[in-house]
Amino acid sequence: MLKPDGRVIMVSGASRGIGRATVERLSTAGFTVSAGLRNPTSVAEGERLSVHGYEAEEAGSAEAWVAATVSRWGRIDGLVNVAGIHKVVHVFDGDEDDLDEMWRVNVKGPLRLIRAAVPLLSATGHGRVVNVASNAGKRVPANVGYAMSKFAVVALTHGVRREGWEAGIRATAICPGLVATDMASVFPLPPEQMSQPQDIAALIETMLCVPNNAAVSELVVHCQFEPML
Q: What is the DSSP string of the chain?
A: ----TT-EEEEESTTSHHHHHHHHHHHHHT-EEEEEES-GGGS--BTTEEEEE--TTSTTHHHHHHHHHHHHHS---EEEE---------TT-S--HHHHHHIIIIIIHHHHHHHHHHHHHHHHSS-EEEEE--GGGTS--S-HHHHHHHHHHHHHHHHHHHHHGGGT-EEEEEEES-BSSGGGGGSSS-GGGSBPHHHHHHHHHHHHHS-GGG--SEEEE-SS-----
pLDDT at 5 over 70: yes
Rounded to two decimals, the pTM is 0.97
Q: What pLDDT sits at residue 227?
A: 80
104 vs 6, which has greater pLDDT?
104
Does the pLDDT at position 226 exceed 90? no
Q: What CATH class is the domain 8-221?
A: alpha beta
Alpha carbon separation from 182 to 15, 27, 56, 135, 178 (Å, rounded)? 12, 23, 19, 17, 11
User: Could you read off the pLDDT of 140-177 as tens digits, one per residue?
Assistant: 999 999 999 999 999 999 999 999 999 999 999 999 99
Q: What's the distance, CA 229 to chain centroid?
A: 24
Catalytic residue among 73, 146, 164, 203: 146
Average pLDDT over residues 89-95: 96
**Is residue 229 over pLDDT 70?**
no
228 has pLDDT over 80: no
| Average pLDDT score, the chain | 96
Residue pLDDT, tens place only, 167-225: 999 999 999 999 999 999 889 999 999 999 999 999 999 999 999 999 999 999 999 99
Distance CA 116, CA 218 (A): 23
| Residue 146 appears among annotated catalytic residues | yes
